[in-house]
Structure 1
Amino acid sequence: MPASRTSETIISDASSAMKTAAENPKQATQSFLHTPLIRAALPFINGGIAGMTATSVIQPVDMIKVRLQLAGEGVKTGPKPTPITVFRDIVAQGKVLDLYTGLSAGLLRQAVYTTARLGFFDTFMKSLTASAEAKGNKIGFKERAGAGLAAGGLAAMVGNPADLALIRMQSDGLKPVAERANYKSVIDALTRIAKNEGVTRLWAGAYPTVVRAMALNFGQLAFFSEAKNQLKGTSLSSRTQTLTASAVAGFFASFFSLPFDFVKTRLQKQTRAPDGSLPYKGMFDCFTKVAKEEGLLRFYRGFATYYVRIAPHAMVTLIVADYLGFITK
């Protein structure tokens, strides 16, 4: 008898909830969004959607940036490519849609990497804020920087395979036609790399990827949070404050992370020679060889293109994340 009443109670509660949702869908949505599980997941979900939206917009610029970094490898002198010449070469060799090569890998990377980094950053910031308020203090730039560094490093480790696949797909067109892998999709790239080179190869370049992510997050999230906090007392509108803060964040993110992004690209692009050797043994070996053979300024080749890729990506990501955070409060 008690079991029967329990079943009836469950059915009654479910029926009541469905009736309430039908009569007041807005209230039902708000109730759903405020369940503990959804509240914990929202920063990650919002971050992933924001990152994937930004990548869809910025992918052609990212393609040009990667080609710039790989041009003239091992050569200190010679013609210097520009974003315009790289763009012309890509279009001349195929079609405009080739600029979107690797989009599936880019979207997967954002679904993993940006979901994790923005989600972790938001989670860390909430924890640090609550801890500081309990002591009667306010969090400062040091706490923001620490949250950004930790979130970036953790997310980069998780997202490295998708990042590797993206670089391989974008650099494939630079090889002679007979040597191209012609990956069909990110799943095809990941499967073939794991099968032909070993699963651990999916984490090639993980060290510079993690350092790059920490540098980028330090520049992007910490400076965005700090700039937005500094702009609160100004006469600028909320939207203008977000745009200004994201532009500032984009510059610092580019400045701190480009050398590591350059090394990451070189390490992830390399494949084994017939004798089993690799051009670079690791991050420090790559830094040393590039500095010696190509010059220190090579690490900042394509800074303008990188900034044009990072700043709008940061702006779109942070604005979309901000908006999603607002409507899901």
Structure 2
Amino acid sequence: MSDKPLPFFYQFISGAVAGISEILTMYPLDVVKTRMQLQTAAPGSPGAYTSMVDCFAKIIKQEGPSRLYKGISAPILMEAPKRAVKFSANDEWGKFYRNLFGVTTTTQPLAVLTGATAGATESFVVVPFELVKIRLQDKASTYTGPADVVKKLVQSEGLLALYNGLEATLWRHVSWNAGYFGCIFQVRQLLPTATSKRQTITNDLIAGSVGGTVGTLVNTPFDVVKSRIQSTVKVPGVTPKYNWTIPSVVTVFREEGFAALYKGFLPKVLRLGPGGGILLVVYTGCMDFFRARVYKN
């Protein structure tokens, strides 16, 4: 049953449910990750975050526990289309590439190529939501909510400003999805064949967690500069310090050192490692649920 295809609608719904489940569970780690990525002061500076735990503690003490969910409305609105596009695009691009290359099964290189293409597709959907989220999560944020961000952004920078950071988002999502789906394929091949529902869930949790961890290792430098690009308010006639991805990576490396390219890595990998497992388990479970009903006869 698990190999039978389903229409795009069921892929979309399964991806949406998986995404919302993951974001509700792991969102505080995303807030901490963004704060650490936006920090440019040296760790010893007054008020600077020295670690993930320190960041958690200072946010709770200085701003209140609710701040850990600041801006969650934008990700909630984003997660349904974002994760739905991630998985459905991966499935659909997989079919396209198998037909293109005349093969009936996915190979490791094909899994990486499919994941990368799905990541590029996903990027165009998520950029405005990501931008709103970053602006709200910034410690210096004075916005009252997502609508206020959109209103002020469009008024001051124009409608196209909603796609600030698109190029950096492409780098981030292409690299993460290539690592994620490529690892899922490989890890599934290495794990014992599942003979029960429980073993299937365990295998998916392991494969998704490994995929999420590897994807995070690959894409964190791009995520760091994406956060900075999207947090920057553009001023007419002034070239932003963080503008294009690769030059921004070089700037961070030159001014702050290699470690700065992995700012926020711990909360990010703690979110997207297990989070990648949660995504895969929920998505696979939803797809199996729909297959059981679509093919019940």
Range into which the TM-score falls when normalised by the shorter chain: 0.7 to 0.9
Aligned-pair CA distance for 1:302? 2.7
User: 1:44·1:120 contact (CA, 8 Å) conserved in 2?
Assistant: no
Alignment of structure 1 residues 293-312 onto 2, 5 Å: 293-312=255-274
Matches for 1:1-329 after TM superposition, within 5 Å? 39-73=7-41, 78=45, 81-129=50-98, 137-171=104-138, 174-175=139-140, 180-184=141-145, 186-233=146-193, 237-272=199-234, 276-329=238-291
C-alpha contact 1:76 1:295 (8 A) present in aligned 2: no
Alpha-carbon distance in 1 for matches of 2:109, 2:217: 19
Alignment correspondent of 1:22 = none
Deviates more, 1:147-156 or 1:115-124: 115-124
- Contact 2:44–2:50, Cα closer than 8 Å, also in 1: no
Q: For each residue in 1:190-212, what CA deviation from the matched residue of structure 2 results, as whole angstroms up to 9, or x when unmatched?
A: 23212221111111111111111
Q: Percent identity?
A: 24
Q: CA, structure 1 residues 138+204, in 2 after alignment: closer, same or farther (shift >3 Å)?
A: same
Instruction: Quote the Cα distance in structure 1 between the aligned partners of 2:259 and 2:216.
Output: 15
Q: Which moved more, 1:158-167 or 1:285-294?
A: 285-294
Unaligned runs of 5+ in 2: 292-297
Amino acid at match of 2:81: V
Q: Is the 8 A contact 1:77 1:294 kept in 2?
A: no
Alpha-carbon distance in structure 2 between the residues aligned to 1:93 and 1:274: 34
Aligned residue type for 1:188: D
Q: What are the superposed Cα offsets for residues 277-312 of structure 1, whole Å, 9 maximum, x if unpaired? A: 523232233112211110112101232221101112
Q: For residues 197 and 43 of structure 1, do their structure 2 counterparts lie closer, same or farther at Cα, with a shift above 3 Å needed?
A: same
C-alpha separation in 2, matches of 1:139 and 1:88: 45
Structure 1 or 2, whichever has the larger Rg, is 1
Shift of 1:142: 1.0
- Once residues 198 and 181 of structure 1 are traced to their aligned partners in structure 2, the CA distance between those partners, rounded to angstroms, is 19
Are 1:76 and 1:294, in contact at CA under 8 Å, matched by a contact in 2? no
Aligned partners of 1:91 and 1:105: how far apart in 2?
21
Q: What is the alpha-carbon distance in structure 2 between the residues aligned to residue 168 and residue 205 of structure 1?
A: 12
1:250-287 deviations in Å (ceiling 9; x for gaps): 21111111111111011111113597452323223311
Q: Deviations over 1:75-119 (max 9, x none)?
A: 597566211111111112221111000101111221222111211
Tell me, in whole angstroms, the C-alpha distance in 1 between the residues paired with 2:130 and 2:250.
Answer: 23
Separation in structure 1 between the aligned mates of residue 192 and residue 153 of structure 2, nearest angstrom: 48
Corresponding position of 2:294: none
What SS does structure 1 have at the residue aligned with 2:7?
helix
Question: In the aligned structure 2, how far is the partner of 1:119 from the partner of 1:136?
Answer: 20
Contact 1:242-1:319 within 8 A present in 2 as well: yes
Letter in 2 for 1:86: C
Q: CA deviation at 1:183?
A: 2.6
Rounded Cα–Cα distance in structure 1 between residues aligned with 2:94 and 2:243: 37
**1:9 equivalent in structure 2:** none
Separation of aligned partners in 2, 1:189 and 1:71 = 21
Query: Deviations for 1:112-167, whole angstroms, at most 9, x for unmatched residues?
Result: 221112110011224445677xx575320111111100000111112100010000
Partner residue, 2:295: none
Mark the runs of 5 or more structure 1 residues left unpaired by the alignment.
1-33
Partner AA of 2:30 in structure 1: D
Separation in 1 of the partners of 2:201 and 2:83? Answer: 22
CA contact (8 A) 1:76 1:293 kept: no
Q: SS at the partner of 1:328?
A: helix
TM (norm. structure 1) is 0.79
| Alignment check: 8 A CA contact 2:52 2:266 kept | no
